Amino acid sequence: MKRIVIREEYCMGCRLCEIHCLVQHSKSKEIVKAYKGEFPKALPRVLVEEQGYLSFALQCRHCEDAPCLEACMTGSLHRDAETGAVICDENKCVGCWMCIMVCPLGVIARNTEGKKAASKCDLCAGEKMPVCVQNCPNEAITFEER
Amino acid sequence: MTKTKYLIIGNSTAAVNAVEAIREKDRLGSLCLVSDEPCHTYSRPLISYYLGNKVEEEQLFYRPSSFYYLNKVQAFLGDKVVSLDCANKQVVLDDRTGIQYEKLLLATGGAPFVPEMPGQNLSGVFTFTTLDDAQQVKKFIASHQVKKAVVVGGGLIGLKVTEALLALDIQVTIVELADRILSATFDRTASRIIERALKGIGCACLTNSTVKEIREGEPGRVGSVVLKDGTQVDCQLVIVAIGVRPRVDLAREAGISVNRGILVDEHLKTSVDDIYAAGDAVEAYDLIAQAARPIAILPTAARQGKIAGYNMAGAPKAYEGGIPMNSVELAGVPTISVGLTDPSTLADGERRNGMEVIQDYREKDSVYKKIVLEDNRIVGIILVNKIDRAGIYTGLIKDKIDIASFREYLLKDDFGLLSLPREYRKHMVTGQGIEI
Ligand SMILES: Cc1cc2nc3c(=O)[nH]c(=O)nc-3n(C[C@H](O)[C@H](O)[C@H](O)COP(=O)(O)OP(=O)(O)OC[C@H]3O[C@@H](n4cnc5c(N)ncnc54)[C@H](O)[C@@H]3O)c2cc1C
Ligand code: SF4
Ligand code: SF4
């Protein structure tokens, strides 16, 4: 499947990926509304970790043997048959955080503003390329067949 | 007599994951599934959400309604398996239908344990493990104007029912035998935080206590319970949630080796060839206890179901062992506990050298993080109120990573992959086919 490849040595810690991800997963897909006018506010599904000079952008790896799929008690987490991506059906999700307990990369966020729901990378279903990759100015994340 | 290549007894987590694993390896082999519950596969942990009106009945299903059809499963729902004949490889259902199998999976789960108590047969006394239980309780509450309830057992299921009842404006008293609630998975500090939060929303927790007798109120119905110290607590509803035990009768009567749960080898095969077992019914390897133990949680049932399914379909795979863990939000407080959370409760023979605890308790904010170490490897955690990225610890437990080089970061709120050694970080992310 096509996966996001992380190249930590190119990451500048600008966090543009987080902004594009949040906007992409908002209802309006407009930056001002996405940040200021929507309830519940979308969360970025990519996380930039930073410590001193070191930084990198991390999102779900869509693991082949994914522990989150086994831990999900409602069946909201499932693998998309076409893309192979691990997707959360947020309507079905009840926010029990079993998935957060087992994801070894810590890339599932809790959205608690409205109805509780797990928030995670869906590889921007419908887009040719995830928006974080499209908008990274330094190619610190790329989208490749692996 | 029906003949099938694969037969699965059970229709819950372990069974469903076994079906998916078998179908990954074998699209065509005939597959039958039998369950004494009449409904489509549902998420058992959701029944308390259903009782508390947090999810609708249609949202309870663990897989879409097309599940059996798409996976070519012949499902016998509402049929109980009454006997198993290992020598002739066949089972008999309660309507006397026989099914002959080549490979069998026992995914029979657990059954609630109810101690002998006078009055336990009064109307208004329930256990709480199936959808049917939840529907019965719901009906009873609606038709009897329940104002007060007693929940016997302050473990996970008892507390989940409590939450649901509180959401229905019912006053709840929890009666717990131990000196604190959640004593099996939490330590004293974490139990105290949750007890305080429950009291804050109007729930009474009576610890060091037990129900001696259930007394009649209106004819045939519950009116109160009497505790061991003689106190009487008025109530119209009693939920007994003391614990769940592996459902092993079928296996035992068939001559399969059983201890507390059904015994299995590393391929989840029982003592009889071609018969596998998975989920709450079994006693499989526990990575933390380093011995076979029943671990009655959903992720373990899913994992074991999947591994058993692969092995049944002729794709050998070993079970790595499980870790007890749970994530629950009670009274608005999210908590996660994984592995060994309180070494002080271990019996002398079980305590191992090199165990130590590091923790951060911010009492004012009810934030608690505790990490149990053994020879510089994490063997357990408790997180209260700050649970984000908890799975990183779980991963470190599973992979038995030496934390000496990043120990000082473990309890920090921004603890993340960047705190881990570069090589391990690389391995974590490349392990899934990705360079970092
Ligand atoms: C209220 C509640 C809340 C829970 N919350 C959590 C939670 O938050 N997190 C967590 O990890 N776990 C939780 N659990 C535990 C979790 O539900 C179980 O670990 C999981 O369901 C085990 O799955 P299983 O497939 O092994 O067995 P079960 O779910 O017990 O299913 C057993 C199946 O076998 C069938 N069966 C048994 N014997 C026969 C027979 N002789 N003939 C025909 N059919 C038979 C039954 O009908 C059933 O379909 C909770 C459980 C309950 C009851
Ligand atoms: S959420 Fe975590 S465990 Fe699940 S597929 Fe993504 S990286 Fe893997
Ligand atoms: S939080 Fe949602 S996605 Fe995660 S395990 Fe619970 S129900 Fe599944």
pLDDT digit string, tens, across residues B214-225: 999 999 999 999
Instruction: Express as a percent the part of chain B with pLDDT over 70.
Output: 98
Decide if B296 contacts B306 (C-beta within 8 A): no
Element (H, E) at B327: strand B325-330
Which chain B positions have a beta carbon within 8 Å of A55's beta carbon? Answer: 418
Task: Calculate how close chain A gets to B62, using CA atoms only, in Å.
Answer: 5
pLDDT digit string, tens, across residues B272-301: 999 999 999 999 999 999 999 999 999 999
Pairing between β-strand A141-145 and β-strand A117-119 as defined by DSSP bridges: unpaired
The reported pLDDT for the residue numbered B270 is 98
Decide if B351 contacts B396 (C-beta within 8 A): no
Distance CA(B109)–CA(B10), nearest Å, equals 7
- Whether the link from the prior residue into B118 is cis, omega within 30° of 0, is no
User: Which residue, among A49, A10, A27, A19, has the nearest Cα to A132 in the 3D structure?
Assistant: A19
The reported pLDDT for the residue numbered A137 is 97
Q: How far is CA B271 from CA B108, B163, B222, B252, B262, in A?
A: 16, 41, 45, 11, 9
**Cα-to-centroid distance, B63 and ligand 2 (Å):** 20
Contacts of B336 (CB under 8 A, 6+ apart): A97, A100, A101, B325, B326, B327, B381, B382, B383, B387, B390
User: Is the pLDDT assigned to residue B331 strictly greater than 50?
Assistant: yes
The reported pLDDT for the residue numbered B347 is 75
- Count A/B contacts: CB-CB distance under 8 Å: 125
Pairing between β-strand B204-206 and β-strand B171-175 as defined by DSSP bridges: parallel
The reported pLDDT for the residue numbered B429 is 76
pLDDT digit string, tens, across residues B390-414: 999 999 999 999 999 999 999 999 9
Does B315 touch chain A if contact means CB atoms closer than 8 Å? no
Q: Which atom of ligand 3 is nearest to the CA of A97?
A: 1
| SS3 call for B197 | helix
Contacts of B424 (CB under 8 A, 6+ apart): B401
Q: In a mutagenesis test of the B interface, which of A70, A121, A133, A143 is the best target, namely the one with the most B β-carbons within 10 Å?
A: A70
Give this prediction's pTM.
0.96
Distance CA(B353)–CA(B436), nearest Å, equals 37
Confidence of residue B431 (pLDDT cuts 50, 70, 90): low
Which chain B positions have a beta carbon within 8 Å of A97's beta carbon? Answer: 327, 329, 334, 336, 387, 390
pLDDT digit string, tens, across residues A53-100: 889 999 999 999 999 999 999 999 999 999 999 999 999 999 999 999
Which chain A positions have a beta carbon within 8 Å of B436's beta carbon? Answer: 6-8, 56
What would the mean pLDDT of B56-62 be, rounded to a whole number?
A: 95
Average confidence score pLDDT of chain A = 95
